[in-house]
């Protein structure tokens, strides 16, 4: 009897063969995947919708085709391919001209920064590694400029995630429980009525610790920028260990034009820490295994979604399974005091239960149901 994994592998191989045979190389699928993913996430700024989910599924399918066809294709060695990917992905940053917080009369500044960022990143990708340093540094400066120019307001944001993290940091620094009722916000409490409900922190205990330095500097999102910069550094280290180390600067250039970074910073999404932890786990696992496990434990302490991210690695590699189990043990030990203070049931609900709630009810359950249950 054929194993499911073998059947899936064979199907992908046949699909990749058909892709090449029809004259559409794997690079087309890769371009399609990366290009579709940006609008999928930014269409509703992270909210779930049917068009967004359709784009995500199409991007996933294109990525699988790209993986199936890339093994026998030399496209990944060609500079023009990287330039094309960077330009197409970078164009999705134009979504920020219609940013929900509003750009007002500053839209020409955003437009110039986006186009300059694309040009600098594409220029870095077109050059060999030993000549790309200045172009890559310019792209990094323009990336920071784009983040700064789209910053809604310093130290405050009418975003539930921002308010939840701020409340958790305040409670933690004052010796309180970050999983208590730390913030309040408006939410639909019935089909026809809105009201103010109390919210409980819904992420791992490492988040307020990591974000506290930014909070002390005036805005917790400062640490979001630091986390993404750390991710870029981790991608560089990881790429230098791969089969195409000479293209490491191109991978970083592609990451700089990713439309996700600006949205994640401005919305204070905690996934910036999750991604940084997972990237550094992969970057260090062959040379600094102990530190790589620490990085993975940090990622596990950010959000329960990390477990979903790690499923492929857990199924694929025995070494990865061992490291994931050890990191999970460390994460449990770190989280245990918070669980005991909060109550194990309430803690599990805050950290995992809310993430599993239906999207339409998530905001209500985060506050109203969580408050009533206590």
**Do 289 and 187 share a structural domain?**
yes
Give domain status of residue 127, yes or no: no
**Which range of residues forms the domain containing residue 70?**
1-77
The overall average pLDDT reported for the chain is: 78
C-beta of residue 278 within 8 angstroms of C-beta of residue 296: yes
270: enclosing H helix or E strand? none
Mean pLDDT, rounded, for 184-201: 76
Alpha carbon distances (Å) from 205 to 59, 214, 262, 336, 362: 32, 16, 24, 10, 20
**Cα 192 from chain centre:** 34
Give the alpha-carbon dihedral of 126, 132, 137, 138, to 10 degrees.
-50
Which of 24, 43, 77 marks a domain boundary? 77
Give domain status of residue 110, yes or no: no
DSSP string, 141-155: HHHHHHHHHT---TT
Task: Give the total number of structural domains in the chain.
Answer: 2
Alpha-helix residue ranges (DSSP H) falling in the chain: 4-21, 26-42, 50-70, 79-91, 107-126, 133-149, 160-173, 206-217, 221-240, 248-256, 260-266, 271-284, 289-300, 306-309, 311-316, 318-342, 344-348, 354-356, 362-364, 370-373
**Do 343 and 214 share a structural domain?**
yes
% of the chain surpassing 90 pLDDT: 21
Give domain status of residue 214, yes or no: yes
Please name the residues in contact with 211: beta carbons below 8 A apart, sequence gap of 6 or more: 165, 169, 220, 223, 224
pLDDT of residue 49: 74
**Do 200 and 62 share a structural domain?**
no
**Do 199 and 340 share a structural domain?**
yes
Long-range contacts of 183-191 (CB under 8 A, 24+ apart): 184/367, 185/160, 185/363, 185/367, 187/363, 187/364, 187/367, 187/368, 188/363, 188/364, 189/364, 189/368
pTM: 0.80
Q: pLDDT (tens digit, 9 = 90+) per residue, 227-264?
A: 999 999 999 998 888 767 788 888 899 889 988 888 88
pLDDT band at 286 (very low <50, low <70, confident <90, very high): confident
**Do 202 and 290 share a structural domain?**
yes
305: enclosing H helix or E strand? none
pLDDT band at 117 (very low <50, low <70, confident <90, very high): very high
The residue ranking higher by pLDDT, 326 or 360, is 326
Give the alpha-carbon dihedral of 366, 183, 161, 49, to 10 degrees.
40
Which of 77, 94, 119 marks a domain boundary? 77
Nearest partner of 34 among 89, 76, 75, judged by Cα:
89
pLDDT of residue 357: 62
d(CA 328, CA 239): 26
Give domain status of residue 345, yes or no: yes
**Do 209 and 304 share a structural domain?**
yes
Residue 75 has pLDDT above 50, yes or no: no
Mean pLDDT, rounded, for 278-297: 91
d(CA 370, CA 136): 47
The token pair that represents 98 in the structure block: 């219609």
Which of 3-17, 28-42, 72-86, 339-353 has the least mean pLDDT?
3-17
Which of 48, 77, 106 marks a domain boundary? 77
Give domain status of residue 37, yes or no: yes
Q: Is the dihedral of CA 113, 151, 223, 88 positive or negative?
A: negative
Which of 10-19, 25-34, 75-84, 126-135 has the least mean pLDDT?
10-19
Give domain status of residue 42, yes or no: yes
**Do 170 and 36 share a structural domain?**
no
d(CA 116, CA 146): 10
Residue 19 has pLDDT above 50, yes or no: no
C-beta of residue 59 within 8 angstroms of C-beta of residue 33: yes
Burial class (CB in 10 A: 0-12, 13-18, 19+), 103: middle
d(CA 221, CA 269): 9
pLDDT of residue 210: 92
pLDDT of residue 4: 47
Give domain status of residue 247, yes or no: no
Mean pLDDT, rounded, for 152-162: 80
d(CA 374, CA 199): 12
d(CA 373, CA 224): 32
Q: What is residue 200's DSSP assignment?
A: E
Diameter over CA atoms, the chain: 65
Give domain status of residue 95, yes or no: no
**Do 166 and 60 share a structural domain?**
no
């Amino acid at each position: 009897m054929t194993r499911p994994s073998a059947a899936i592998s064979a199907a992908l191989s046949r699909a990749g063969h058909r892709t090449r045979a029809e004259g559409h190389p794997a690079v087309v699928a890769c371009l399609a995947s990366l290009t579709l993913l940006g609008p999928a996430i930014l269409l509703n700024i992270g909210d779930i919708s049917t068009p967004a989910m359709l784009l995500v599924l199409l991007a996933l399918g294109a990525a699988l085709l790209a993986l199936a066809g890339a093994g026998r294709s030399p496209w990944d060695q060609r500079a023009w391919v990287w330039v094309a990917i960077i330009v197409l992905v970078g164009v999705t940053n134009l979504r920020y001209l219609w940013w929900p917080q509003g750009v007002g009369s500053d839209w020409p500044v955003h437009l110039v920064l986006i186009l300059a960022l694309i040009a600098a990143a594409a220029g870095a990708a077109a050059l060999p590694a030993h000549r790309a340093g200045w172009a890559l540094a310019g792209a990094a400066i323009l990336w920071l400029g784009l983040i700064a120019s789209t910053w809604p307001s310093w130290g405050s944001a009418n975003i539930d995630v921002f308010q939840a993290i701020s409340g958790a940091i305040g409670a933690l620094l004052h010796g309180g429980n970050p999983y208590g009722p730390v913030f309040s916000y408006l939410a639909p409490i019935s089909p026809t009525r809105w009201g103010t409900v109390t919210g409980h922190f819904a992420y791992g205990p490492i988040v307020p610790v990591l974000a506290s330095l930014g909070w002390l500097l005036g805005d917790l999102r400062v640490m979001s920028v630091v986390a993404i910069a750390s991710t870029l550094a981790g991608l560089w280290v990881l790429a230098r260990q791969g089969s195409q180390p000479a293209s490491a600067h191109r991978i970083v250039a592609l990451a700089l034009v990713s439309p996700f970074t600006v949205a994640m910073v401005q919305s204070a999404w905690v996934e910036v820490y999750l991604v940084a932890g997972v990237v550094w786990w992969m970057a260090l696992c062959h040379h600094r295994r102990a530190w790589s496990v620490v990085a993975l434990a940090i990622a596990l302490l950010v959000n329960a979604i990390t477990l979903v991210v790690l499923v492929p690695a857990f199924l694929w590699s025995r070494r990865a399974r061992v490291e994931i189990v050890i990191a999970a043990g460390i994460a449990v030990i770190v989280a245990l005091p918070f669980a005991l203070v909060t109550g194990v049931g309430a803690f599990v609900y805050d950290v995992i239960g809310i993430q599993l709630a239906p999207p339409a009810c998530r905001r209500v359950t985060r506050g109203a149901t969580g408050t009533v249950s206590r």
